[in-house]
Amino acid sequence: MDSFSEVRTEGLQINLHYRSLEACRSAKMKDDPPIKYAFSIYLGEAINTLGGDALLPFIVDVETKPKGAFFKIRGEIFVRGPQGAVKRWISPADGGPPRIWSQVYWEALKLLSSLADYIHVPPPNGMKRKLEGN
């Protein structure tokens, strides 16, 4: 699998390349159960190029509560643009996650909604409405 999404913001070009997608649903899971999603997002250390661009590997693990389905999304984020802007997006801010984290989270939610639909699991609350509105 090799697909990507691209976002442009603040003079930056942010590309998410998906290398691996997994979606699994237990045969014991009831149809349309009330579920919640637990997310875990890992961002690897940024690898900077000579031009100031950056590459960060990422892994998004998602499972439903109660258990019954899980998803795993692996890939890389390429951040291109002015060196100062790239650094602001990939560096942690005020003890929190780097700004790029929220971009990965949003893109993962959009992909997760499609994967959930594919294996007949309700998408995260409100995601279907938001995606249909875009």
Helix (H, G, I), strand (E, B) or coil at 65: strand
Amino acid symbol at 27? A
**pLDDT range class, residue 3, cuts 50, 70, 90:** low
pLDDT at residue 131 in the model: 47
Rounded CA separation 57/39 (Å): 17
Return d(Cα 2, Cα 8) in angstroms, integer: 20
Going from the N-terminus, what domains does the chain have, and what CATH number goes with each? Answer: 3-133 (3.10.420.10)
The fraction of the chain above a pLDDT of 90, given in percent, is 34
Cβ contact 19:47 at 8 Å: no
Lowest model confidence (mean pLDDT) among 20-24, 25-29, 70-74, 114-118: 25-29
In this prediction, residues 79-92 reach a mean pLDDT of 90
Residue 122, helix vs strand vs coil = coil
Which range is most confident: 27-31, 49-53, 105-109, 122-126?
105-109
Query: What is the model's pLDDT at position 76?
Result: 94
Q: What are phi and psi of 99, to 5 degrees?
A: -60, -30
